[in-house]
C-alpha cells in the first residue's frame, strides 16, 4: 500500500486541517476500548486530541499495535480530521495509521491523588500533567506581559549581575561561592543597585532574572531561587513608582485573562478577583494599615514591618491589590528616601495581593543626596568601600529616582489561585529540595 505523506500538525492547529489527513505526534494520555473501536487521547504539549481507531480503517498491524500502548508511550498517529464538538479541543481524528515510537514503562503518575513529595520527586514527569502545563503557560504569558509592558513604556532591558562582590544587607540569607582567586562572591538578591546606575545612563531600565535567598523559611510563599522583574527610573517619585507598579499588575493580569482564560478555567480559578484589578487599587499609609490591624485584633508596635500574617489580614480587607506606603525607616532598607513630611518614614511602598497571597511588589524612591545616603550606610553598619560605585551615583548628577521589584512566582500563584508557590516554577528550589 502506497501512502502519501500527510502533513504533520500540532494538536492546537487541527482546526486548520478540518477534512484533511494529518499526522499527530505525541504521547498517550488515555486509552479505551469498546468492541471493535479503540479510542486514544493524545497529548503533544499544544493540546489534547482524541483519535478513533476502527478496525478496517487502518492496516491490521497498526490496529494491533494499539494493544501494546501504555500511558505516556510516544506515537505517531495519522488520520482524517473531523469537527466533533464533544471532543476535547473540538476536533477528532479518524485514524488511518498508528506507529508506536516508544512504549513507556509503567508510568508512575496516575490520575489518582499523589502526595506532594512524590510528585516533586518526579517533577520532570509531573510537568506533563494538564494542570502543570497550564500553570507554565500562564507563567510564560506573565513574563512576556511584563517585558512588553516595560518595552512599551521606553524601559531598556539591563541584565544585572548574579555574582556580586558584596553582601550589602548581611550574609545570613546569601548563597556564597568562591570567585576564582578573588575571594567570595554572593548570589544576587536584587538587581536594584545596579539598575540605579543604569537608570542614570538610560533613563528608564528594567531587569528580569533569577534571584536567590538562602532563607531557612519553609512557608508556602518562599523559594530559595525565584524570578523577579525590577524597574528603575530617573526622576521617578514614590507617586510615580506606585502608579507604575499598579499599572504593571493591572496590565499583566488583564492580559492573562484575555489570552489564557481557558487555562485559568482548567485550573478552576475563580476569575472574579482577577477581573477586579481593572479598578484603582486602594492605598493605605503604614499608619492606616496599623489601624486596620488593630481593628482586626492584630495590634502591632509602630516601627515593625508587616509580617506574613499581618499582610494576610490587610489583603483580605480589599477585593483587589492594596498599596501600603510610607513605612518607618527602621523597618526598611538603607537606600530609601526619607519622607520630607515626616523623616521617620521612608518613601516606600509594598503591594499586597488579595486573597492572602502576600507581598508581590516592593518599591521606593531612593535617597538622592550623598550625605544622607552615607549617614544611612553608617547607621546600618554597612561597609562603605564596596559601595563606592553606588555612592558615585550621588556625586555625578544625582537625581530623584525610584523603582520596584515584583516577584513572579507569587504573582503567578495568585493569578492561578495556587496554594503554594512551588508549582509556579518549572523546577522549584526549596529549603529541603534541589532535585531534580
- How does 156-183 read in b/e, with b if 16+ C-beta sit within 10 Å? eebebeeebebbbeeeeebbeeeeeeee
Q: Which stretch binds its own copies (CB under 8 A): 140-148, 238-246, 254-262, 353-361?
A: 140-148
97 binds its own copies (CB under 8 A): no
- Nearer to its own copies by Cβ, of 123 and 366: the residue is 123
Applying the rule CB under 8 A, the residues between 384 and 423 that interact with its own copies are 386, 389-390, 392-393, 395-400
Shortest gap between Cβ of 344 and its own copies (angstroms)? Answer: 25
Applying the rule CB under 8 A, the residues between 32 and 51 that interact with its own copies are 44-46
Sort strands 21-34 and 7-8 into parallel, antiparallel or unpaired. parallel
Shortest gap between Cβ of 420 and its own copies (angstroms)? Answer: 17
d(CA 352, CA 302): 19
Indicate the SS3 state at residue 358: strand
140 binds its own copies (CB under 8 A): yes
Query: Could you tell me the three cell numbers for 255?
Result: 492580559
Binding string to its own copies for residues 290 to 329, with x set by CB under 8 A, is what? ----------------------------------------
- DSSP label at residue 9: -
Q: Are the CB atoms for 98 and 53 separated by under 8 Å?
A: yes
Applying the rule CB under 8 A, the residues between 239 and 278 that interact with its own copies are none
349 binds its own copies (CB under 8 A): no
Applying the rule CB under 8 A, the residues between 184 and 213 that interact with its own copies are 185, 187, 194, 197-204, 209-210, 212
Residue from the set 30, 39, 54, 74 that interacts with its own copies by CB under 8 A: 74
139 binds its own copies (CB under 8 A): yes
Residue from the set 9, 14, 26, 232 that interacts with its own copies by CB under 8 A: 26
Q: How far apart are the first and last CA of the chain?
A: 46
- Nearer to its own copies by Cβ, of 82 and 122: the residue is 122
Shortest gap between Cβ of 368 and its own copies (angstroms)? Answer: 7
Shortest gap between Cβ of 193 and its own copies (angstroms)? Answer: 9
Query: Could you tell me the three cell numbers for 309?
Result: 500574617
Q: Are the CB atoms for 165 and 389 separated by under 8 Å?
A: no
Q: How far, in whole angstroms, is CA 192 from its chain's centroid?
A: 19
366 binds its own copies (CB under 8 A): no
383 binds its own copies (CB under 8 A): no
Beta-strand ranges (E) seen in 326-433 are 338-339, 342-346, 348-353, 358-366, 401-407
Q: Which stretch binds its own copies (CB under 8 A): 104-112, 308-316, 318-326, 352-360?
A: 104-112
Sort strands 91-102 and 156-157 into parallel, antiparallel or unpaired. unpaired
Applying the rule CB under 8 A, the residues between 157 and 186 that interact with its own copies are 157-165, 175-180, 182, 185
Applying the rule CB under 8 A, the residues between 119 and 138 that interact with its own copies are 122-125, 127-128, 132-133, 136-137
Q: Are the CB atoms for 42 and 76 separated by under 8 Å?
A: no
Residue from the set 50, 73, 78, 329 that interacts with its own copies by CB under 8 A: 73
Give the C-alpha distances (Å, rounded to integers) separating 117 from 56, 122, 213, 224, 433: 46, 9, 22, 17, 10
Indicate the SS3 state at residue 203: coil
d(CA 181, CA 196): 29
Amino acid at each position: 500500500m502506497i501512502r502519501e505523506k500527510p502533513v504533520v500538525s500540532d494538536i492546537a492547529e487541527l482546526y486548520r486541517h478540518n477534512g484533511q489527513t494529518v499526522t499527530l505526534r505525541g504521547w498517550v494520555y488515555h486509552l479505551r476500548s469498546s468492541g471493535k473501536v479503540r479510542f486514544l487521547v493524545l497529548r503533544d504539549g499544544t493540546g489534547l486530541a482524541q483519535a478513533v481507531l476502527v478496525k478496517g480503517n487502518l492496516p491490521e498491524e497498526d490496529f494491533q499495535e494499539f494493544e501494546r500502548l501504555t500511558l505516556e508511550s510516544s506515537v505517531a498517529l495519522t488520520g482524517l480530521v473531523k469537527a466533533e464538538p464533544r471532543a476535547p479541543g473540538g476536533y477528532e481524528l479518524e485514524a488511518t495509521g498508528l506507529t508506536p515510537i516508544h512504549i513507556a514503562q509503567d508510568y508512575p503518575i496516575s490520575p489518582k491523588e499523589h502526595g506532594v513529595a512524590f510528585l516533586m520527586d518526579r517533577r520532570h514527569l509531573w510537568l506533563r500533567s494538564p494542570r502543570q502545563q497550564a500553570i507554565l503557560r500562564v507563567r510564560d504569558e506573565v513574563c512576556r506581559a511584563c517585558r512588553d509592558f516595560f518595552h512599551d513604556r521606553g524601559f531598556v532591558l539591563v541584565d544585572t549581575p548574579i555574582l556580586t562582590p558584596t553582601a550589602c544587607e548581611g550574609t545570613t540569607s546569601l548563597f556564597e561561592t568562591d570567585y576564582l582567586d578573588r575571594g567570595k562572591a554572593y548570589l544576587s538578591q536584587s538587581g536594584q543597585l545596579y539598575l540605579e546606575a543604569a537608570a542614570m545612563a538610560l533613563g528608564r531600565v528594567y531587569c528580569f532574572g533569577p534571584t536567590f535567598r538562602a532563607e531557612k523559611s519553609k512557608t508556602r510563599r518562599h523559594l530559595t531561587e525565584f524570578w523577579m522583574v525590577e524597574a528603575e527610573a530617573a526622576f521617578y517619585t514614590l507617586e510615580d513608582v506606585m502608579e507604575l507598579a499598579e499599572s504593571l499588575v493591572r496590565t499583566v493580569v488583564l492580559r492573562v485573562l484575555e489570552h489564557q482564560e481557558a487555562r485559568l478555567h482548567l485550573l478552576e480559578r475563580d476569575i472574579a478577583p482577577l477581573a477586579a484589578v481593572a479598578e484603582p487599587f486602594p492605598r493605605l499609609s503604614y499608619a492606616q494599615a496599623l489601624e486596620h490591624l488593630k481593628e482586626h485584633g492584630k495590634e502591632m508596635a509602630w516601627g515593625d514591618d508587616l509580617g506574613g500574617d499581618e499582610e494576610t489580614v490587610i489583603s483580605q480587607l480589599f477585593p483587589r491589590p492594596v498599596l501600603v506606603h510610607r513605612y518607618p525607616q527602621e523597618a526598611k532598607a538603607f537606600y530609601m528616601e526619607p519622607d520630607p513630611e515626616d523623616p521617620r518614614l521612608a518613601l516606600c511602598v509594598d503591594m499586597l495581593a488579595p486573597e492572602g497571597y502576600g507581598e508581590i511588589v516592593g518599591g521606593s524612591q531612593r535617597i538622592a543626596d550623598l550625605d544622607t545616603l552615607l549617614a544611612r550606610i553608617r547607621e546600618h553598619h554597612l561597609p562603605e568601600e564596596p559601595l563606592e560605585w553606588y555612592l558615585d551615583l550621588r556625586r555625578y548628577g544625582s537625581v530623584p529616582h525610584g523603582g520596584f521589584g515584583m516577584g513572579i512566582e507569587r504573582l503567578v500563584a495568585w493569578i492561578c489561585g495556587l496554594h503554594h508557590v512551588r508549582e509556579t516554577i518549572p523546577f522549584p528550589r526549596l529549603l529541603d529540595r534541589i532535585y531534580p
